[in-house]
């Protein structure tokens, strides 16, 4: 674990990463690459998952990550972190596409990418493909990206749940990747996301998320941090994926916010240097003062109590990486999320493996919704229900659903009264009702006959 201090930001972080080829004997060449760099925008953390078979996928991921660091470092002055990140990923897509040779070549190498810039203005996230980013805050985990994949399209359409997507046969088919076309559409957060001390940002390749749900990631991270530091948490997530099969390369990166730059006071943008001072900011002229009477003091005090709103309780978020005095943050339910930024041309590609993942043509799946709901001006959503799908119920008289697990049978009642009456089928009950009705009609007719013969 390291505690880098980026050149372009006063945000202090802890950073760790881990990568493993997995347990598939056919994928022992790790095609994942990951790295960290200091940039003038802040802390830059990038993860790329190569595709195309062994050395083709490894070359694609290494080319992509090196290009992103290079373009970020050479961004022109005045460029925002989000635009620099978007331009870097787009250029990485062009260079990975060039690795495949002429346009008529079909077997082209490719790579997914997820990248974070952590700077003074917040966290910026960009991604292409199915590598993911998460935020862990106040004991909850929130997804910051949405996969560009066929399975994600089925989840969005309500055809699958997150749990049912685990092990799905189409889990390796993505609809967007670097290198598949000369130009790639990069998904970037519309606004930087606000950060707080103690926030943990996590990036991972699909070697983890294909086997582990968000709630499992949260539980493993909390348990690991209770007994160790960030490197231990990264290794625990890698071990968790390997314990569940390890069918692909597994790469995990984690960033914990240690300290943030104090918020600057609000200023008037683009105010002329010699402009007259706004009336609201001018000092009030001196007023004649006189001692207040007891009646006036009581009236003013009661008026102030009526005008002030009731105080809003602000829960605290303890940061395991910062002192308690600097680790308070509002509750996750009413706060927005953060943005990132780093700098430095060096990167640490991890040993890559071969991941042959076909990329489905984008027309077959409707365009995935953008990340506007996660804009920084909006509060954090409550814990996503997609990580806790409701238990299906078993309808009596029907078999279990072919795609969802059947409900567990209810236990037999204890000491229930035993009925000796034979069970009546629906057809038999109809016959019984018919006999009772005919008997009633016959009885009425007999009464009428008796009355007519003897009582008149």
* Residue ranges making up the domain that contains 85: 12-262+337-387
Q: Is residue 452 one of the residues assigned to a domain?
A: no
Residue 394's pLDDT is: 41
Give the CA radius of gyration of the chain. 33
String of DSSP letters for 302-342:
HHHHHHSPPPPP------TTS-GGG-----GGG--------
Residue 189 domain flag: yes
pLDDT at residue 40, rounded to an integer: 93
pLDDT score, position 382: 46
Q: Is residue 235 part of a domain?
A: yes
Per the structure, the count of domains in the chain is: 1
Quickly state the pLDDT bin for 172 (edges 50, 70, 90). Answer: confident
Is the pLDDT score of 317 beyond 60?
no
pLDDT of residue 290: 53
Residues, the chain = 456
Q: Quick check: 95 and 64 in contact, CB under 8 A?
A: yes
Query: Using the 8-state DSSP alphabet, how is residue 368 labeled?
Result: P
String of DSSP letters for 270-287: T--TTPPPPGGGSPPPP-
Q: How far is CA 136 from CA 142, 328, 383, in A?
A: 6, 15, 11
Tell me if 112 is assigned to some domain. yes
pTM here is 0.60
Q: How many Cα atoms within 13 Å fall on the side-chain side of residue 350?
A: 29
- Who wins on pLDDT, 315 or 198? 198
CA angle 285, 288, 291 (to 5 degrees): 140
Torsions phi, psi for 211 (to 5 deg): -120, -15
Q: 80 in a domain, yes or no? A: yes
**What value does the mean pLDDT of the chain take?**
73
- Answer whether residue 395 is part of any domain: no
Q: Residue 317 domain-assigned?
A: no
Crossing angle (nearest 10°) for helices 230-243 and 214-227: 140
84-129 pLDDT tens trace? 999 999 999 999 999 988 888 888 899 999 999 999 999 999 999 9
Confidence of residue 167 (pLDDT cuts 50, 70, 90): confident
pLDDT for 247 beyond 70: yes
Q: At what angle do helices 55-73 and 81-99 cross, to 10 degrees?
A: 150
- The DSSP output letter for 359 is B
314 located within any domain: no
Question: Which position has the higher pLDDT, 257 or 292?
Answer: 257
Domain of residue 64, CATH code: 3.60.40.10
318-331 pLDDT per residue, tens? 333 333 333 334 33
């Amino acid at each position: 674990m390291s505690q880098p201090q980026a050149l372009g930001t006063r945000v202090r972080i802890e950073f760790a990463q881990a990568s493993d080829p997995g347990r598939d004997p056919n994928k022992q060449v790790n095609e994942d690459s990951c790295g960290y760099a200091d940039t003038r925008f802040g802390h830059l953390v990038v993860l790329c998952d190569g595709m195309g078979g062994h050395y083709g996928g490894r070359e694609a991921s290494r080319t992509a990550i090196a290009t992103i660091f290079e373009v970020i470092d050479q961004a022109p002055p005045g460029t925002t972190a989000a635009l620099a990140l978007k331009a870097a990923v787009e250029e990485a897509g062009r260079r990975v596409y060039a690795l495949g040779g002429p346009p008529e070549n079909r077997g082209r190498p490719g790579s997914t990418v997820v990248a974070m810039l952590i700077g003074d203005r917040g966290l910026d996230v960009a991604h292409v493909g199915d590598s993911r980013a998460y935020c862990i805050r106040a004991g909850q985990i929130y997804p910051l990206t949405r996969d560009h994949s066929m399975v994600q399209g089925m989840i969005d359409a309500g055809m699958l749940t997150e749990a049912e997507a685990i092990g799905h046969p189409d889990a390796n088919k993505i609809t967007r990747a670097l290198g598949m076309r000369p130009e790639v559409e990069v998904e970037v957060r519309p606004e930087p996301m606000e950060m707080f001390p103690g926030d943990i940002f996590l990036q991972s390749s699909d070697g983890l998320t294909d086997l582990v749900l968000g709630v499992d990631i949260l539980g493993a991270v909390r348990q690991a941090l209770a007994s160790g530091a960030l490197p231990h948490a990264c290794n625990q997530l890698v071990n968790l994926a390997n314990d569940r099969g390890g069918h692909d390369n597994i790469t995990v990166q984690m960033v914990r916010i240690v300290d943030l730059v104090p918020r600057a006071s609000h200023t008037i943008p683009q105010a002329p240097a010699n402009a007259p001072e706004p009336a609201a900011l001018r000092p009030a002229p001196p007023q004649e003062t006189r001692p207040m009477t007891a009646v006036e003091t009581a009236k003013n005090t009661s008026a102030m109590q009526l005008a002030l709103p009731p105080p809003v309780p602000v829960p605290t978020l303890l940061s395991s990486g910062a002192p308690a005095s600097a680790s308070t943050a509002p509750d996750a339910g009413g706060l927005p999320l953060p943005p990132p930024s780093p700098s430095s041309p060096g990167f640490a590609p991890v040993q890559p493996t071969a991941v042959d993942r076909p990329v489905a043509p984008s027309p077959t799946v409707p365009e995935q919704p953008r990340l506007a709901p996660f804009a920084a001006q909006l509060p954090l959503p409550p814990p996503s229900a997609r990580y806790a799908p409701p238990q299906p119920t078993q309808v009596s008289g029907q078999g279990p659903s072919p795609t969802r697990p059947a409900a567990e049978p209810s236990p037999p009642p204890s000491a229930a009264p035993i009925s000796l009456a034979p069970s009546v089928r629906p057809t038999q009950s109809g016959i019984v009702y018919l006999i009772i009705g005919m008997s009633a009609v016959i009885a009425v007719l007999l009464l009428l006959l008796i009355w007519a013969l003897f009582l008149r």
